[in-house]
Amino acid sequence: MTDIAWIDLALASARPKALGALLRYFRDLDTAEEAFQEACLRAIRTWPEKGPPRDPTAWLIFVGRNSGIDAVRKRSKLQALPDEDTISDTEDAESDIAERLDDSHYRDDILRLLFICCHPDLPATQQIALALRIVSGLSVPQIARAFLVSESAMEQRITRAKARVAKAGVPFETPSSEERAERLSIVSTMIYLIFNEGYSQADPRHEAAAFSDEAIRLARLMLRIFPAEPELMGLLALMLLQISRRPARFSAEDEIVLLEDQDRSLWNQLFINEALALLDKALRHRQPGPYQLQAAIAAVHSRAKRAEDTDWVEIDLLYRALERIQPSPVITLNRAVVISKLHGPEAALDLVDPLGEKLDGYFYYHGLRGNLLKQLGRHGQAREAFDRAIALAHSAAEAAHIRRQIDKMQQEAGQAAVK
């Protein structure tokens, strides 16, 4: 096997497990990272010649551990370096490690590794950057390009975030089942943030667009080591359903295409099928959670062959359940869309207006409000809401979408005046 691409893949997929195990061993993120780097270098040197080891992850942990010990010794200058030979014959030791390392070992290692990136003192963007750097192994320039900052700024940001995490201390004790559930939920949120960072990009060639795939990869990894967690199934299902629509979300002119106007034949049916299977599985556990409910809502849309076939009653029920377990004005705002489908714009507006206090700085609030006012013929107020939305838009595509709504409204108003 001389295919370097295969080695890259094997290294990337072994990274969270191997780095997690090295972190447990060295209890220091920098040492663990250096050790992993060194192990990867040796893998690239020896695997093409000798062929891949039976268990790449165990090999990397073993070699990384030895080189990490060397590095620590070198720094402390206490002992002479061992021969290169002592680590070159890794076959026996590797299989020994492989036997002792099953998924239950990796479980807490990986969870810890992801968890330290979610340090509550770090703003979300730093959590994402740190996770992408440490867990996913993306390069600083890659991350910098995605966040539209200079490499040196990103380097500094990551260094600072690491320092803050190191200062806070990494929890190494085995978490109780409650703590584990809490960590799992924090990590899930972070994975979803990574997903959204990529998903919000209109342009699939944009650097950040790849984050969505990375988030899905991380969720798969989590689900593989926590295979009976319905919320992880829900999270993965939700992301698969959302990304299944990516080919239909933007027109050739990069304009936003609303869900109801999307060409559903462009939706990725493979992703949808997998998500529906996962969601069915999750619901069997009878432990509903926000990701399962959001995925269930997305699934109702995916099951509808045409927009007009959408089961809005079902979606309304799911949103009500979501409001109960996770009350939030954003969820109520989303339910207002459903209410407008079921009971018209007037009823929806009654639900939307009281949210103004909390959602005044939210693009979608003003966008939806403008749309409802427009439907009711209150064009002056609609115009005000749309202007506010444009001021809050995150991307050119969002602003352009609202501008088209205004144009349409003016056209209609113009036609009405002529009549």
Partner 1 sequence: MLYAILCYAHEETVFAWTKEEEAAVMEKLYAVQEPLAKAGKLGPVGRLMPTTAATTVRKGRDEALVIDGPFAETKEALLGFYVVDFDTLDEAVAFSKQLSSVNPGSTSYEIRPFYVFRPGDAAS
Where along the sequence are the contacts to partner 1 (CB under 8 A)?
A: 1, 3, 5-6, 9-10, 12-13, 52, 55, 102-103, 213, 217, 220-221, 223-225, 227-228, 233, 236, 273-274, 277-278, 281, 284
| Shorter beta-carbon distance to partner 1: residue 83 or 102 | 102
Q: How far is the CB of 414 from partner 1 (least distance, A)?
A: 46
Q: How far is the CB of 53 from partner 1 (least distance, A)?
A: 10
| Shorter beta-carbon distance to partner 1: residue 277 or 416 | 277
Q: How far is the CB of 311 from partner 1 (least distance, A)?
A: 24
| Shorter beta-carbon distance to partner 1: residue 272 or 339 | 272
| Shorter beta-carbon distance to partner 1: residue 46 or 381 | 46
| Shorter beta-carbon distance to partner 1: residue 209 or 406 | 209
Q: What is the 3-state secondary structure (H, E, C) of the chain?
A: CCCHHHHHHHHHHHHHHHHHHHHHHHCCHHHHHHHHHHHHHHHHHHHHHHCCCCCHHHHHHHHHHHHHHHHHHHHHCCCCCCCCHHHHCCHHHHHHHHHHCCHHHHHHHHHHHHHHHCCCCCCHHHHHHHHHHHCCCCCHHHHHHHCCCCHHHHHHHHHHHHHHHHHHCCCCCCCCHHHHHHHHHHHHHHHHHHHHHHHCCCCCCCHHHHHHHHHHHHHHHHHHHCCCCHHHHHHHHHHHHHHHCHHHCECCCCCECCHHHCCHHHCCHHHHHHHHHHHHHHHHCCCCCHHHHHHHHHHHHHHCCCHHHCCHHHHHHHHHHHHHHCCCHHHHHHHHHHHHHHHCHHHHHHHHHHHHHHHCCCHHHHHHHHHHHHHCCCHHHHHHHHHHHHHHCCCHHHHHHHHHHHHHHHHHHHHHHHC
| Shorter beta-carbon distance to partner 1: residue 34 or 94 | 94
Q: How far is the CB of 260 from partner 1 (least distance, A)?
A: 27
Q: How far is the CB of 399 from partner 1 (least distance, A)?
A: 30
Q: How far is the CB of 402 from partner 1 (least distance, A)?
A: 32
| Shorter beta-carbon distance to partner 1: residue 9 or 342 | 9
Q: How far is the CB of 335 from partner 1 (least distance, A)?
A: 29
